[in-house]
Structure 1
Amino acid sequence: MDAEDEVTVGIVAQRNNDRAQSLATQLVDALERNGVAAAVDDETGAAIGERCVSVAEMNGFDLVVSIGGDGTFLFVAREAGGAPIVGVNLGEVGFLNAVAPENAVEAVTALVAERHETGEIGGRAVKRLRASGEGWTLEPALNEVVVHGPKRGSGGGATIDIRVDGQRYAESHADGVLVATPTGSTAYNLSEGGPLVRPSVDALVVTQMAAADPMPPLVIDNTSELTLTVRDAETAYAISDGRNRQRLEPPASVTVTTADDPVTLAGPPVNFFGALEKLE
């Protein structure tokens, strides 16, 4: 195989999951038998004794395989979202992970064959959200951006003004406001009473969280610009995918838009309606 044809695959296994680590070993063996360079994440490498790199280093790989649940996939997308990602589902539902464990080797080797034949690995581009304010920008969110007061519950909210392309949609004292992608509509958004959105729909969802004077959740075009202005609180937070966090000092405004850099989901599409049947 010529150097210019070399393919490199990264494999990230869910932490402290023996089944995920075993599957990572199977994938490495199958890929290396076919002359494909494979590397696992640092923690998996320490557990199974394979070549390892940081997940961030996989950003330039031809393909990254996420083995675990949606949480593992979100982590991989955050660290290595510049590479096509295929998810192997070890979780209960798996809205981001389309491949069953028993089909993982076949699916990954098929994607590598596609790369050899066409020069690239295709997939579906999934848009992310970017939250920014004065002097700061959070890492892009695949699921949702949340702006909330100092804590949930009594005495912990804030007054939040919501504007869509400069026009006011709602203003109320609330625990917070959540802006979700279609991918994230099945996650935090759903638990807050927001609607389900099929992943192929180009939209965003705006959902208030325990608002005193609530408006119904709003579905808007994903080209819209949202401005969330927080008042009447000592402190507040903007959070991307439940992990990356920016402390706010109200009054403060957060701008939420679609990010310029989507994530590419490789492999077969997720059976959205089949996954919905697994929701409790």
Structure 2
Amino acid sequence: MRVGIVAQKGNSRAAFLAEQIRETLPEEVTIRLDDATAERVDGEGYPVDEMDACDLVVSIGGDGTFLFAARGAGPTPILGVNLGEVGFLNGVAPDDAVETVEAVVAGYRETDTIPSREVPRLRATGEDDSDWSVHPALNEIVVQGPQRGHGQGLDYEVRVDGRVFTTGHGDGVLVSTPTGSTAYNLSEGGPLVHPDADSLVITEMCAAESMPPLVMDGDAEIVIRAEGAEFGYVSADSTRKRFEMPESVTVRPAEEPTRIAEPSSDFFRALGKLD
């Protein structure tokens, strides 16, 4: 069995837990530490983008670390150890981390399976001659103007399955998964969505005149036509790429979901930690 470990960069507690897990697991288990963590604990490092070669990925940190790990994990189940404040993605407390990973590894070696739940990701693509690309997003895809603020946004038209939903001018347009509804979407006035709901959310960002956020079927195709500025940005979670306007950005579900290993986080308990 191969276990990848991605620990929050610059967090000594995360590095300590990574080292504990590495020392505790049986010798027959191959451990792959991310490059930054390997430097701290004197081990061999691997790029996060190669964590999909593992059978289990352990993320140690906050939700941001989990999103970072998910970029490279692909279909591999991710077990999140929560060192953050809220923990919508990380279901394991630090004090339980070593014991929980041991149990998951033992279960896999006995049954060749890891209990997990699937959560959708979003993929954004441009027109045929576009020269940008972003990785699939677990939380959200954002299309926005050169910068936020009055007079710095973009003009947009949003179509859902070929039908016009809204047009207007604003800072941008955000398309969120249920997982991402508690993140950027929430700060922009979007609704909370239970993680088990098969849905997507469209939220306009600081629009001059806007429709209420729209919750739609999880298989919907959203096309955002952006113009009215020289350039804009497409963001997938925290990674963004520049594009030249006009541009049409198509957002649809990615073929591969993210798999969150059990025990996963308690949605309602995490809600209680929101400010």
One fold, TM greater than 0.5?
yes
8 Å Cα contact 2:89/2:264 also seen in 1? no
Q: How does 1:99-138 map to 2 (within 5 A)?
A: 99-134=92-127, 135=130, 136-138=132-134
Percent of residue pairs bearing the same amino acid type? 55
Aligned residue in 2 for 1:279: 274
Measure how far apart 1:125 and its partner are.
Answer: 1.0
Correspondent of 1:63 among 56, 60, 63:
56
Measure how far apart 1:211 and its partner are.
Answer: 0.6
Deviations 1:165-206 (CA, angstroms, capped at 9, x unpaired): 011111011110000000000000000000000100010010
Aligned residue in 1 for 2:10: 16
Measure how far apart 1:39 and its partner are.
Answer: 2.4
Give, in whole Å, the separation in 1 of the partners of 2:25 and 2:164.
54
Give, in whole Å, the separation in 1 of the partners of 2:266 and 2:182.
13
Correspondent of 1:96 among 61, 67, 89:
89
Aligned residue in 2 for 1:250: 245
Query: CA RMSD, aligned part only?
Result: 1.2
Give, in whole Å, the separation in 2 of the partners of 1:146 and 1:91.
24
Give, in whole Å, the separation in 2 of the partners of 1:22 and 1:252.
46
Deviations 1:247-268 (CA, angstroms, capped at 9, x unpaired): 2222211000000011110121
Aligned residue in 2 for 1:259: 254
| SS in structure 2 at match of 1:256 | strand
Measure how far apart 1:46 and its partner are.
Answer: 1.1
Equivalenced residue count is 272
- Is 1:140 aligned to residue 104 of structure 2? no
Deviations 1:42-73 (CA, angstroms, capped at 9, x unpaired): 11111111333222222111101000001111
Aligned residue in 2 for 1:31: 25
Correspondent of 1:171 among 167, 170, 175:
167
Give, in whole Å, the separation in 2 of the partners of 1:170 and 1:57.
40
8 Å Cα contact 1:146/1:176 also seen in 2? yes
Write out the 4+ residue segments of structure 1 that deviate beyond 3 Å after TM superposition.
none
8 Å Cα contact 2:79/2:264 also seen in 1? no
Aligned residue in 1 for 2:233: 237
Change (3 A) 1:43 1:137: closer
Aligned residue in 2 for 1:4: none
| SS in structure 2 at match of 1:150 | coil
Stretches of structure 1 lacking an aligned partner (at least 5 in a row): 1-6
| SS in structure 2 at match of 1:32 | coil
| SS in structure 1 at match of 2:25 | helix
Measure how far apart 1:120 and its partner are.
Answer: 2.1
8 Å Cα contact 1:130/1:137 also seen in 2? no
Give, in whole Å, the separation in 2 of the partners of 1:92 and 1:144.
20
Measure how far apart 1:246 and its partner are.
Answer: 2.8
